[in-house]
Amino acid sequence: MTSEEDRENTIQMLTETEEAIGRLYEAYSRTLPEHEEFWFGLVMEEADHSNLVHSLLNKVRNGSASFVADAKLADEVKDIREFLKKEQERAKRENMTFIDALNTALNIEKSLIKQDFYRLFTNTSLDVSEVLQHIQHDAESHIEFLQRELDEQEERR
């Protein structure tokens, strides 16, 4: 596989991961319709992340964007996507509470930051760096947003 093919596959994997996170949050909005608005904002941001990552594909193809992905990225992505799929199925079949969903979402966002998921790249061009920094910043904002809501919900108990 050429380096260009590796980069294209990496972009596709990241795009699909962002989409999978969005699908999980969408599943939460259907499972917990009384909190649909809450989840809808996160679904939209994940769709934006997916579009941002996907927008890099043409730039990689024409050589105006480049990066080197850490070798462990593919394994990290695979693990995260398997977890997201299981959680999406769980959301469909179990009587999940809003607090359960918040905890899971918070753990997902935290794990992306803790594992330096968006920093598993080196020799990035400016376009790639900007997209990854944007998504990293949003993930950090999601952590604050989810934690704030979780704290409020736990206070109401």
pLDDT tens digits, one per residue of 23-34: 999 999 999 999
pTM of the shown model: 0.91
pLDDT band at 125 (very low <50, low <70, confident <90, very high): confident
Structure tokens at 41: 């904002």
| pLDDT at residue 157, rounded to an integer | 79
| pLDDT at residue 5, rounded to an integer | 82
Higher-pLDDT residue of 72, 12:
12
Domain boundaries, the chain: 3-156
pLDDT band at 43 (very low <50, low <70, confident <90, very high): very high
| pLDDT at residue 1, rounded to an integer | 42
Alpha carbon of 35 to those of 25, 74, 98: distances in Å?
Answer: 11, 33, 8
Q: Which of 6-15, 54-63, 145-154 has the highest mean pLDDT?
A: 145-154
The superfamily CATH assigns to domain 3-156 is Ferritin, core subunit, four-helix bundle (1.20.1260.10)
| pLDDT at residue 120, rounded to an integer | 67
Is pLDDT at 2 greater than 70 in this prediction? no
What 8-state DSSP symbol labels residue 117?
Answer: G
Task: Note the pLDDT tens digit of each residue in 80-109.
Answer: 999 999 999 999 898 899 999 999 999 999
| pLDDT at residue 21, rounded to an integer | 97
Distance CA 29, CA 148 (A): 18
CB 39 within 8 Å of CB 103: no
Q: What residue type is assigned to position 73 of the chain?
A: L
